[in-house]
Structure 1
């Protein structure tokens, strides 16, 4: 039986619902939110529970949203889900929606490896959040001395990309799709040569044979809400799978659609889709890869996961 709207009556989260019991689903400022928005607007799950797309701006807003009780269902970097769980917050990891969105762009076409970044100045968003963690893990595995790379952290991906393009002092940037492709096109328009020289996903696969994919981000959900609405989530999972198929088969239309929801222009989204590594996998179905991934992070610094490895019961 689908509990749907009736399940809301038992909830006590004051700010998550609009009028008429609409569920806010919080997207991320990254390309996974394209598949999320398409699923919300075109899928069947909205016939069970009315859905509304919103977007958080920073990982800190995401953390506060769940810790304070305002968020029920949201896109999240995978490590944030583990952190929240280890803080005792009532969440589960629902799925993974991308196997990596990370790319390192350079202004020097001869910078083609992590070793080449030594002695250079790199700009990156979100210190100690997932793109930075992945970068640290790769540098550690390749014996790269991070002290030899001057890293400047900023608050948002758009800030990182704009500073990289507009300031001569930066040699490289860590960025995510769709901001990466939008930046590349903007740089070309402004006469600035930038190169997508390091595909972080390919480098990760070559480096960590036991963990070939980066389960970068997916949906996390309050366990109490999931338990009361399991049938809704089965439908929503199919909606997400169908959304990815539709996006890949209708890239022009998908880009136009996505520009309404993502902080990226249509041309940037269209260019980014081939680099999105879209997927829609239930976490319980990819538990082995998740465990391997979190083990790498834990060995790097246990605090990045909240001090403990996650139990398999975290994965839905």
Structure 2
């Protein structure tokens, strides 16, 4: 059993090394790409982009997988099992800083975070003083955004408010519904799901948009560059025309999802266990805008740099260098 596992690990290591050494190896020879996305709006965007007739003609039928957590994505993208994926921007930066040959193509999700609170006004973060707040994924984006903004507000965790962490947003929702915490920090689409569940239980909740709080407390735009699209560098080098077409298809998909939330909700429900109503509500509460990596770089560096002050490991060290960003071409801007 041990020998079998060792052989398998050696085979995976050899395959990864071979893929890294020979650009283009591992791309689907008969056309098509292996793509991936997490549950949520990035998945809906990629699913819509794959319906683009021009992309289908150029690339062929492509596979869209769902990844559960960054560790699974890291294994897929590092081993060449997928060539392109939607991902949170910090995960993309972390992969790049750890030596995985990825390129950021675009940023298209600009804010999904909010706070739900039981039965109290919630006009600003200051009103969390004295409250017990639940936060998913300690050390990840929801946690770091909250703690960064609390510091700006002059609130200290442990002194002014209490935070407990849950392993996932779904666990945070269950803790909130059971009223074991006063407030919950949640990303979309779980945020919308929680709102619908509280309404069905007859609970009164207040809601605070953290993108608006970011703008109020930092003076920046109410937009957080949270998620986008990356590809393995060998895809860009072997098929730059595919990447250009993907950029256009994603740009048009983002515009369609934002303009057609009900239809987009139905599309999303075909690719995930989330109900169409939840996906539709998440779209209505999320800023969706396609910007190429080059166009988004300044805001992305400001955002990731601010959060990395709290935890450098969040992005795998320092800010990625210019090799991380796709250079705009005529089609890249969408």
Could you say whether these structures have the same fold, taking a TM-score greater than 0.5 normalized by the shorter chain as the test? yes
The residue aligned with 1:108 is 119
The count of corresponding residues between Structure 1 and Structure 2 is 303
Note if 1:180 corresponds to 2:157. no
Note if 1:158 corresponds to 2:170. yes
Flag the 1:274–1:106 CA change in 2: closer, same or farther, 3 A.
same
- What SS class does the counterpart of residue 174 from structure 2 fall into? helix
Q: State the shift of 1:237 in Å.
A: 1.4
Note if 1:203 corresponds to 2:213. yes
- What SS class does the counterpart of residue 304 from structure 2 fall into? helix
Consecutive unaligned residues of structure 2, counting only runs of 5 or more, are 1-21, 327-334
Taking the aligned partners of 2:93 and 2:44, their CA distance within structure 1 comes to: 24
- What SS class does the counterpart of residue 151 from structure 2 fall into? helix
The residue aligned with 2:330 is none
Is the Cα contact below 8 Å between 2:110 and 2:225 reproduced in 1? yes
Taking the aligned partners of 1:152 and 1:175, their CA distance within structure 2 comes to: 13
The residue aligned with 2:54 is 44
What RMSD over aligned residues (CA atoms) do the two structures have, in Å? 2.2
Taking the aligned partners of 2:269 and 2:95, their CA distance within structure 1 comes to: 30
* Dislocated runs of 4+, deviation >6 Å: none
Is the Cα contact below 8 Å between 1:32 and 1:278 reproduced in 2? no
- What SS class does the counterpart of residue 36 from structure 2 fall into? strand
Taking the aligned partners of 2:23 and 2:317, their CA distance within structure 1 comes to: 32
Flag the 1:253–1:211 CA change in 2: closer, same or farther, 3 A.
closer
Taking the aligned partners of 2:253 and 2:233, their CA distance within structure 1 comes to: 24
Q: Could you state the TM-score of these two structures normalised by the residue count of structure 2?
A: 0.83
Superposed, which structure 2 residues align to 1:1-316 within 5 Å?
A: 11-13=24-26, 20-49=30-59, 50-148=61-159, 149-165=161-177, 167-196=178-207, 198-210=208-220, 213-316=223-326
Flag the 1:151–1:62 CA change in 2: closer, same or farther, 3 A.
farther
Q: State the shift of 1:231 in Å.
A: 1.1
Q: State the shift of 1:10 in Å.
A: 5.9
Q: Could you state the TM-score of these two structures normalised by the residue count of structure 1?
A: 0.87
- What SS class does the counterpart of residue 133 from structure 1 fall into? helix
Structure of larger gyration radius? 2
